[in-house]
Amino acid sequence: MKILLPSLRDNHRYVLSQVHPVWESLDPRDVYYAMNDVARGWFGDTRISEIQPVVIRFSPGFLIVRCIRGGEADLTAILLTIVEINGKRVKLCPVRTSGTIKGLNEFLSAHVPPVMSKQEVRVSGTLVPVLSDSQGRIDIPDDDTGPKQLRFITTQEVEGA
């Protein structure tokens, strides 16, 4: 296949998005399917074929998605309205749009996300394994807890903190 001249290629935009909770393990393929489903619901196949959203990179806590220039506003709306990926509740927050991946990498290196560390704390009289960060966030990543269970707390709720 003949390679297109740079001037004839499509101009892309790359959207960097935070993924919450940071400890949730996701398959980039599932992220793509979820994004495609939501995009089809909002804009239809015609617009998706114009935007061409593609997952470029996924690492815990961050996601880089590519689209055609001019489609970044729609892509942002799509990412914002994703609430579930393969049965896992997530939240995607677009934080930066750039014309190059290098630009996003520079942004990422300057804005290191808070690291969550494993520990055990006592909540409501029970010792539970949790993930916490330096800002006081504590997540209880227990798969057995139902939707009405306490999963996201701060150091204020920890007994003896």
The yes or no reply on residue 135 touching other proteins (CB under 8 A) is yes
Length of the chain: 161
Residues 13-42 that bind other proteins (CB under 8 A): 20-21, 41-42
Q: How far is the CB of 126 from other proteins (least distance, A)?
A: 15
Q: Pick between residue 100 and residue 154 the one whose CB is nearest to other proteins.
A: 154
The yes or no reply on residue 148 touching other proteins (CB under 8 A) is yes
**Which residues have CB under 8 Å from 106's CB, separation 6+?**
none
Count residues contacting other proteins (CB under 8 A)? 30
The yes or no reply on residue 131 touching other proteins (CB under 8 A) is no
Do 63 and 17 form a contact (C-beta atoms < 8 A)?
Answer: yes
Q: How far is the CB of 88 from other proteins (least distance, A)?
A: 10
The yes or no reply on residue 107 touching other proteins (CB under 8 A) is no
Q: How far is the CB of 10 from other proteins (least distance, A)?
A: 24
**Which residues have CB under 8 Å from 88's CB, separation 6+?**
24, 26
Q: Pick between residue 41 and residue 99 the one whose CB is nearest to other proteins.
A: 41
Q: Pick between residue 105 and residue 153 the one whose CB is nearest to other proteins.
A: 153
Residue ranges binding other proteins (CB under 8 A):
20-21, 41-42, 73, 76-77, 80-81, 83, 89-91, 93-94, 135-138, 145, 147-154, 156-157
